Structure formats: structure tokens, C-alpha cells
Amino acid sequence: MNEMVAKIAEQVGISPELAEKALGMMLGFLQREGEDGPVAKMIEALPGAIELVAKYNGEGQSKGLLGGLMSAIGGGGVMGLGQQLMSEGLGMGEITALAKSTMATAREYAGDEVVDNVIASVPGLKQFV
């Protein structure tokens, strides 16, 4: 378990194992939905983030007909990520705290400009961070 995951777990008040999975899912979401350049810079700057994305990218996504229908009617994006994180046992307050803590930590490693560009490139993300 890396130091960044332990720090975020403590700040959010969840287990390190859940924080690792949720962080990997969140970073994977940003990689899929955000602008490639800024997201890649941010992920490369965060210690262990590349491994987390590789391990958990796509985790919790609905498969099959229901998943396809949700995507078709707009069930993806930030709200879709929220639903995935809720299915892992996180409440809305924890998800918001996770998003804020992750972005604050990303600012420490990648800088404000990179993180601001990531946030701006993902529709709806700004309201959660």
C-alpha cells in the first residue's frame, strides 16, 4: 500500500484497501473521460497511480445490456462513476471527500495548472472537487 493511498484513506475515513480500489477507479475514469495530456501528466506524477489505473480501470462498470442502456441514456460520466463507487460501499459524503482529497494530493505532486486542466476537461467534475 503506498503512502498516497494511506493518506487519502485516512483523510476520507475509509479502509486503505477500499481507498486503493476507489482511487484506481477514479483515476481510470479520468483517463477515459479527461483530456489525454493533462491526465497523463497527473497520473505519472502521482506515486503508484499508473499501477492503480492498470489494476482497477474499468472496475465496477456495468456490463451487458443494462450497462449499454445506461451509457446510451447518459448514465455514464461523473454520475456513472458515483454509482460505481456507491456499489463499492461508499456514501456520497465519502465520494466527495475522496474526490477532493485526490485532487488536493494531485496538486501537491502535479501542480495546480495540470490538475485544473484535468478538472476542466471532464464535464461535471468541477462541482465535486
Instruction: Give the separation between CA 125 and CA 101, rounded to whole angstroms.
Output: 14
For 47-85, the pLDDT digits (tens) are 999 999 999 876 554 444 444 444 444 446 888 888 899
Angle between helices 92-110 and 77-87 (to 10 degrees): 110
Domain ranges of the chain: 1-125
The winner for highest mean pLDDT among 1-10, 42-51, 63-72 is 42-51
Cα distances (angstroms) measured from residue 20 to each of 23, 28, 39, 57, 76: 5, 12, 18, 12, 22
69 exposed, middle or buried (CB, 10 Å; 0-12, 13-18, 19+)?
Answer: exposed
CB-CB contact of 80 with 70 (8 Å):
yes
Query: Region 106-116: what's the mean pLDDT?
Result: 96
Q: Is the pTM of this model over 0.75?
A: yes
d(CA 83, CA 85): 5
Q: Report the percentage of the chain scoring pLDDT > 70.
A: 84
Lowest-confidence region among 28-42, 50-64, 87-101:
50-64
CATH says 1-125 is which class?
mainly alpha
